Structure 1
Amino acid sequence: MKTEDLNNINIAIVGGGYAGVTAALALSQIGANVTVYEQAHATGEVGAGIGLRPASIKLFRKLGIFDDIAAVTSPSKAFDIVDAQGNPITTEEWPQKDGDENTTRMIHRRDFIDALTKNLPEGMLQLDHKLIDLKDNGNSATLTFANGNEVTADLVVGADGIRSKVREIFGHYEPVPAFAHAYRVVLDGSEAQGLLTDDNLRLYLDSETGNMIYFLPLRHRGPNGQVSFDITVLSDDTSWSPQVTREEILHAIRNFDERLIRMVENMDLDKVNFRSAFDIDPVETWNSDSIVLIGDAAHAMLHHQGQGANSAVIDGGALADALRNADSLTSALANFVAERKEPTQALQRISRESWNQESASTSAFPEKDQISY
């Protein structure tokens, strides 16, 4: 689209997470008028660590925020998959590195969202805006918020997560339970029982129970470094925030390395984030002429391949590229969906397969032959 056309487009982004903020950065840099509406009263992200893949790092360089990302990350060489006792199953370097400068980098979720939001132009992020109604007018859309504000925009970007309100306009997609719990906590390196030795992501896999422990190093954080510790266990309990005792966790990880067991024995359960794992079924329709879905609103996926956040930020960059390169908003949205729908739905399918001894011994990255990044 021509610069003058982009300058006249008003875009409302619903959701101030990774997808929404990255999209805002990218869209504002091509000249669009962007406002991000976030329902929370304050910014921030709880939880644990993630790995930013090479394609995401490449995008951050393009957006001019790589230095801010690099300041709160550690580069990683490989993904190590081991059995419950730490015996090697597979070690594989991160795929499709675009040179060492764009290698996967480990980051805490809070540091990530802070690095993104601090680069937004002042006033672009509007807090305390919970969407309660959305009307598609054809060539525009009108949003109504719980605080009484009403906004009409040329384009509404639904970046409001797995329980997206924007997505409801395209159909009813409830979160789908994976019948698994994820218990996540960030621990000081001094509590890691000597296991925090490098910057590689490590997956401990118990072939007997199917339970897993993700051990993600954050050695750049604090004088001792930190580790993001994620215990994933099978469970029939699908409550959003399950109530779990230490004894139940210890029973679930009974076959694991005694050092991992000691970490659980010593950890402060008040600091643990307890969640059931959910994704969504593939969404058939992502857009109209004035509304489009990105991130988890379009393709929420399970955490086993670590691609949820990466897919979300890549969506944001791809949406801006689509607007810049197309002749009209309508064709831009069609091009964006055509580019992003197939690879992200492939990742949804692969992530649902989780891990077992056979798949882990084949490759640490089963997605690498099915997607282009």
Structure 2
Amino acid sequence: MRILIVGAGIGGMTLAALLKQRGYHPTLIERAPDFEHAGYMLGLWPLGYRVLHGLGLYEQFAAETLECRHYEVRDNHGELVKHWSMAPISDRFGPNLSCTRPQLIKLLHSAIDDLDLRFNTTLDTLYDDGETATVAFSDGRTETFDLVVGADGIHSKVRQMIFGDQPYYHTNWGGWVWWVGLDQVPQETFIEHWGAGRFFGIYPTTQGAGIYAGAPVTDDFSQPGPGRNQRIRDRFAGMGELVETCLESLPDDNSDLFFWKLSDVRAKEWTRGRVVLLGDAAAGFLPTAGIGASMAMESAAVLADELSRTNTQFLEHALALYVKRRQHRVESTQNDSRHLAKMMFIKSATVSHIRDVATKFYSLEQLAGSIAKAFDEPI
């Protein structure tokens, strides 16, 4: 089966590694020039990294990552609202492991060493005649495939080509991302400050702690260049000593700093003819529950499973089964991420105070119902 995977991100690379293990030799294309700037921090739940056991990569992954043993929510002034131990989940299913996205991408890359991976390459056209899919690439080549997998992220070109515009969900919040030294923050604890009109998250990895400083994107908060550093400092002043320590590591105004707008997307259809969507291309995730990478890896495992049970003649039926196994589960966890965003991102001081009081009574399972339930459900 001739398979093209568009996008060498977590979903695409996981699928490629699993297909290679089954004897397939898919082609991957990636618009970036390399993996050197492949993203920032992420937490991987056992929902996703279970796939690494089958690829023989889990032990290396676990050795290179940090276990998140605790999760803390603090208020607008840095006072503790709620502390959760991750033990009820980790003791039963496995720990939440924190890493950088480049770490995971490079690990997956090690499992596809001899596959055809083309950097600096995008799609120009995609034509599905019902029997095959013909693709014209940005490098001038034209090739024919039995299946095209759109794993090209939240702004998927494959999705746009086949399904047109799909509904985005906008929080109207965004934030700056930077790194601080691991010695400057508590290790093994994810800490989030849920403020009024501001949010400050601290996520340790073995490579340092990733910082996300978010606020509504309605003013000059999102503007780069002169004054950026001071605007960020002013916005998050008074959030406590730990936040102040992280603000001291802010790069200067001339440094490249990523501004992450918090939106997601949901495709109404995941497959048509010989084209199928995977990962964020099918359903993008807000980072609020740290579940997007795990869902992409799960989906890749299911798609590889269904492809290994069919041939080109009955391919469309296999793709339909993949959607039946995945779409409801993915959209349910996506809904939980959206619900958490509504809890985390509040402008009003009064409403945020009410939220803080209510949060004291939440269990970890209640905070993200569908996600907690998913640990004990088959896929």
TM-score class, shorter-chain normalisation, is: 0.7 to 0.9
Tell me the secondary structure at the aligned position of residue 246 of structure 2: helix
Structure-2 residue corresponding to 1:50: 42
Structure 2: runs of 5+ lacking an equivalent = 345-354
1:350 aligned to which of 336, 358, 366: 336
* Bigger mean CA offset, 12-21 vs 135-144: 135-144
Unpaired runs of 5+ residues, structure 1, are 1-8
TM-score by length of 2: 0.85
Displacement after TM superposition at 1:76 (Å): 2.2
Aligned positions of 1:1-373 closer than 5 A: 9-84=1-76, 85-93=78-86, 96-97=89-90, 99=92, 102-168=94-160, 169-173=162-166, 175-190=168-183, 192=184, 196-206=185-195, 208-209=196-197, 211-218=198-205, 220-221=206-207, 226-236=208-218, 242-243=223-224, 245-269=228-252, 270=255, 272-280=257-265, 282-325=266-309, 328-353=314-339, 354=341, 355-356=343-344, 357=355, 360-361=359-360, 362-365=362-365, 366-369=367-370, 371-373=373-375
Question: 2:112 aligns to what SS in structure 1?
Answer: coil
SS of the counterpart of 1:299?
A: coil
Instruction: Write the distance in 2 (CA, Å) between the matches of 1:178 and 1:237.
Output: 15
Q: Secondary structure, in 3 states, of the residue corresponding to 2:82? A: strand
**Aligned-pair distance for 1:46?**
4.2
Deviation larger for 346-355 or 286-295: 346-355
- State the alpha-carbon separation in 2 of the partners of residues 96 and 331 from structure 1: 36
Residues 229 and 251, structure 2, Cα contact 8 Å, conserved in 1? no
What do the CA deviations read for 1:194-251 (whole angstroms, capped 9, x no partner)? xx23312121211x33x21111112x33xxxx21111121222699x74271222123
CA distance in 2, matches of 1:95, 1:58: 18
Give the match's secondary structure for 2:107: helix
Between the aligned partners of 2:237 and 2:82, the Cα distance in structure 1 is 20
Aligned residue identity for 1:27 = L
SS in 1 for 2:259: strand
Distance 1:89 1:17, change over 3 A: same
1:321-361 deviation line (CA, Å, top 9, x unaligned): 12234573222211111111112112222222312435744
For the 8 Å contact 2:270–2:282, the answer to whether it is kept is: yes
Query: What SS does the corresponding residue of 1:342 show, helix, strand or coil?
Result: helix
**Aligned CA distance change for structure 1 residues 49 and 332 (closer, same or farther; 3 Å):** same
Distance 2:329 2:87 in 1: 18
The number of aligned residues is 351
Q: Which amino acid aligns with 2:218?
A: D
Q: In 2 relative to 1, CA 99–176 (structure 1 residues): closer, same or farther, beyond 3 Å?
A: closer
Report the alpha carbon displacement of residue 95 of structure 1 after superposing the two structures with TM: 6.2
The two structures have a TM-score, normalised by structure 1, of: 0.86
**Letter matched to residue 47 of structure 2:** A
**CA contact 2:45–2:97 (8 Å) conserved in 1:** yes
What do the CA deviations read for 1:179-205 (whole angstroms, capped 9, x no partner)?
A: 111211122234x2xxx2331212121
Q: Deviations over 1:61-88 (max 9, x none)?
A: 1222113312321222232222241414
1:238–1:323 CA distance, 2 compared to 1 (3 A): farther
Query: What amino acid maps onto 2:374 in structure 1?
Result: S
Deviation, structure 1 residue 22: 0.5
Identical-pair percentage: 25
Structure 1 237/329 Cα, relative in aligned 2: closer, same or farther at 3 Å?
farther
Cα distance, 1:115 vs structure 2? 1.1
Contact 1:90 1:363 in 2 (8 A): no
CA 1:13–1:46 in 2, change beyond 3 Å: closer, same or farther?
closer
SS at 1:229 equivalent: strand
Deviation at 1:271, TM superposition (A): 5.1
Distance 1:98 1:32, change over 3 A: farther
Q: Deviations over 1:144-194 (max 9, x none)?
A: 11110112111100000111111020221265432111211122234x2xx
SS in structure 2 at match of 1:163: coil
For the 8 Å contact 1:47–1:273, the answer to whether it is kept is no
